[in-house]
Every structure is written in structure tokens, then in C-alpha cells.
Amino acid sequence: MHETDIILAVDLDGTLIKTDILHETFWSAFSKNWKTTYKVIPALFKGKANLKNYLNNLSEINIRTLPFNKSVIEYVKKFKERGGRTALVTASNINIAKNIADHLGIFDEVYGSSSTSNLSGRKKLELLTSKYGKKKFSYMGNSSVDLIIWKYAFKAISVNASSVLKKACNSINPNTEHLRINSSYNSIEIYIKALRVHQWLKNFLVFLPMFASHKITVPYFLESLIAFISFSLISSSVYVLNDLLDLNADRAHPRKKERPFASGSIPISYCIIIIPFCFLLGIATTFFINKSFLIIILIYYILTAAYSLFLKRKVIIDIFTLASLYTTRIIAGGAATQIEISFWLLGFSIFIFLSLAAVKRQAELVDLGKRGILKSIGRGYCVNDLKKVNFIAILSGFISVLIIGMYTRSTEVLLLYPNPYILWGVCCILSYWLIKMIIVSYRGEMDDDPIVFAVNDRMSQILFIAIVSLILLSAT
């Protein structure tokens, strides 16, 4: 029998696409309504097929931006060019399967799960054998569930299979082909990227109370270091959650689409381990500090989760939330070391971070305008809001500078700085830096978080060194 005389049946999850539709629909529904977690339980009790249908009705999946396996698509196209017929056969909901098939235009037939029948394992085998007969179809899949189907297939084709699965496949079907598509599941770098380790730079704010009060001692440093580690783990837990909630928005973005979960570099199912692991490990480290720090970091987690779920879609509220998250790090640093944080430091931090949060939104709106998109996905802003956000950035930035100026005339400053007049130089440099950040953002030249951008920006590095130098001169 010639290969093109039989039909090529292709699985969807993990084969045609790098992700899993069940997880995609859950996180899409969850991003729209956090109560989805509780609503899916009754649907699950009615069977997995009913659950898939229920989530399909609640979710909004952008078929065009899904992470497709291009090598699989090319394989199917070449098979059709040789005169073969193809079918998309999946345990995912039939409606999504049809939409994907219509989008690709490379399948002659489509089969999927209904609201009452889950087309997986033996049921999928029964469909294939009843439609085409044993050994009258080739099947392309990626998991151990497919072994029962490969046994009765004319040709067994695996995608990114492990060595154990390949061996099992070879033992039940001598006519096999194993496609190895570039996979980074085992790459440490991709998990570092998923945890956004580069964003841990923000957590160095926990050291600020120690430096601002000039209490630089080994005990305070160690307490601040533990606080830094705890915040980093907790923040990574929320970063992963945020990426899952932003899948559609990230895939529509020219740079964010390369994020591990959006691109399919890491299976969405792995988040079940990553999120609680980082959270619990972060909480565990707080027991080396004190209860006050634990309470603050729990508040931070709740506020960040609330931001990811719905606050980020609220105009202006999202900016204030981002600013408060930065300030919370400073408060947590004070709680960890039991150093009292001054009114001046709190006031300055609130307004400087409000300005930077507005700069971040400004950069996003400028980017949308360049791409011809009028409204942001997953946010409450449109391009017409750019001037308003720009005003917030400017006003908040200069209020923060004003607070520094007022601080130089306070009685508190005389206790810490013998030469407080030198701090006026800090005001000048900070003003210049804020104006520079706002202009860079307005020009669309800022493609990352403002703080991360500043760390990598040569001019910002020079200005930071200048500010530190002036503070040291003032203190001597």
C-alpha cells in the first residue's frame, strides 16, 4: 500500500501546536473572570468533554497567534502535495478544531470532542478504525496516550517524543518516523526567562531603608538580603501567573510573543508546579525574618495578583497600583530590618514610581500607535490617552524632585548629611533623568520596563553614579 493511499491523521495539542487547548481555554476564561476556578468544578463533574465545551464557551482564543509547530505544518503540506488526504483528529473541542483547520487550510477532515464525548485514547482509535480501517491511516502524535493508536496505524509519527516513548512506539509499530522539532523544555535559560530574573532588579529596593538611614551593618544587610530573595521568588510566582493571563495580548505583541509561555517554549501545564513552588519557597524564607515582613509580602502578593486579574484593566488605577507595588518593597525592607522609614522617603518613592509607571504605559501606547492599533489588548487605554498619561508622568516626576528639594531643608537631613546643600545637585540630575526617560518613552525608544531599561542604559548608569557620588560627598 502506498503512503498516499491512506489518510494522515494529525493530533492537535503538543503536535500541531506547541500548547494545549484545554489549558489555553482555562487561562483565557480565568483572565476574564477570576471566579472561573469555582465555576469549572460542576462542569468537570459532568465529564472532561463537558468541561472542554464549557471552557470553550467562556474563553476567547486568538487562533491566528497560537504557537504552531511549523515543521508539522510543512510535513502535512508536503503530504498533501504528494496527493494524500489529511485529517485533524483531536481531543480538544470540535469548534476550536474547526477554527484552526479553517485558518490553516491544510486538512480535508476535522474531528474533535463534543460536549458529551471526549475524543481521546481508545475513542480516537475507534473513530479512526471505523472511518478508515486498521492500518489504513497514519497518525501523528506526541504522548503515551497515542501508543494505542500507533499500534494500529499504517505509520506511527511522533513529535518531540522522549527516548522512552520512541522506544515504546518502535516496539509496537516497525513503521515509525520521529520528528524532532527544536525544543527548549530542558533549557535552564528558558526557565530563567520565564521567571523574569532580570526583573529582580526592582527588589533591590528592600535595601533602600538600610542605605537611606545610614545603618549599613552586617545584620541589616543579611536581613535585607533574605528579604530580597523572598521578594524575588514571590514576584516570579506572580510573573508566571501574569504571563498566563496575558497569553493573547503577549502573542499579539512583536516582542512579548517570544515569552516562554506565549511562544510555547514551556508547556502551560508546568505552571502548576512553578507558581506554587516559587510562592511557597518565598514564604518559607520569611520565617528567617519576622511576622511583619510576612504580612507585608502577603499583601504584596494579593495586590499583585489582583493587578494581574483585573486592576491592570482599570485606567489610572493600574498606574497607582504599580507605584504602590514598588513602594511596598521599600516598606518591606524597613519591616525586615525594623528600620523606621521616614515620611520623606515614602513620599518620594510614591511619586517617583507613579511617574515611572506612567512612563511604562506611555511606552506601550506609543508602541501601539506605531503598529496602527488604537486600543491596547488587556488594558483600559487607547492611543488617544497618550497625552494624559504623559502629563501624569511629568507631574509625578517633578513632585518627587520637589520632595527631595524640601528634604534638603528639613531638620532630619542635618543629622545624616553635614553638607546637605550638595543634595541640590541630586535634584538637578534626577530632573534631567526623568525628562530623558519621558522623552525616550515618548519617542518609542523604550522597549522594556523603565527600571530595567535604565539599568542597561549607559547615560542612566552615569547619572546614577553621579547621584551616589553627590550623596557620599554630602555625607562626609
Which domain CATH number covers 84? 3.40.50.1000
Question: Which residues are paired to 9 by β-bridges?
Answer: 87, 139
How do 7-10 and 85-93 pair as beta strands? parallel
pLDDT in tens, the chain (476 residues): 556 678 999 999 999 999 999 999 999 988 888 888 788 888 888 888 888 988 888 888 899 999 999 999 999 999 998 889 999 999 999 999 999 999 999 999 999 999 889 998 899 999 999 999 999 999 999 999 999 999 999 999 999 888 899 999 999 999 999 988 765 556 788 889 999 998 898 999 999 999 988 888 999 999 999 999 999 999 999 999 999 998 988 888 888 888 999 998 888 988 889 999 999 999 999 989 889 999 999 999 999 999 988 888 888 899 999 999 999 999 999 999 999 888 889 999 999 999 999 999 998 888 888 888 877 776 778 888 888 999 999 999 999 999 998 988 888 787 888 888 888 999 999 999 999 999 999 988 887 788 888 888 899 999 999 999 998 898 87
Alpha helices in 84-206 (DSSP H): 94-104, 122-132, 147-150, 163-172, 188-194
| Domain end residue (candidates: 126, 151, 179) | 179
Identity of residue 32: K
For residues 369 and 449, membership in a common domain is answered with: yes
Residue ranges making up the domain that contains 196: 188-474
pLDDT recorded at residue 186:
61
For residues 154 and 262, membership in a common domain is answered with: no
| Domain end residue (candidates: 141, 161, 179) | 179
CA distance 186 to 204: 29
For residues 384 and 250, membership in a common domain is answered with: yes
For residues 232 and 146, membership in a common domain is answered with: no
Identity of residue 348: F
CA distance 415 to 411: 7
pLDDT recorded at residue 3:
60
| Domain end residue (candidates: 179, 204, 226) | 179
Sign of CA dihedral 345, 399, 420, 467: positive
Give SS3 for 113: strand
For residues 469 and 429, membership in a common domain is answered with: yes
For residues 119 and 229, membership in a common domain is answered with: no
Instruction: Give the pTM.
Output: 0.86
Interval 94-116: pLDDT, tens: 999 999 999 999 999 999 999 88
> For the chain, what is the domain count?
2
CA distance 98 to 103: 8
For residues 113 and 72, membership in a common domain is answered with: yes
Q: Which residue has the cell 525628562?
A: 435
For residues 27 and 166, membership in a common domain is answered with: yes
- Residue 167 CB coordination number (10 Å): 10
- Residue 368 CB coordination number (10 Å): 21
Contact by Cβ (8 Å): 310, 326: no
pLDDT recorded at residue 411:
81
Alpha helices in 246-316 (DSSP H): 247-251, 260-263, 271-286, 291-309
Interval 378-404: pLDDT, tens: 677 888 888 899 999 999 999 999 999
Sign of CA dihedral 229, 232, 233, 235: positive
Interval 209-262: pLDDT, tens: 999 888 889 999 999 999 999 999 999 999 999 999 989 888 888 888 889 999
For residues 252 and 163, membership in a common domain is answered with: no
For residues 87 and 128, membership in a common domain is answered with: yes
pLDDT recorded at residue 380:
77
For residues 233 and 155, membership in a common domain is answered with: no
- Angle, CA of 45, 310 and 441, to the nearest 5°: 140
Cell output for 2: 502506498
For residues 49 and 141, membership in a common domain is answered with: yes
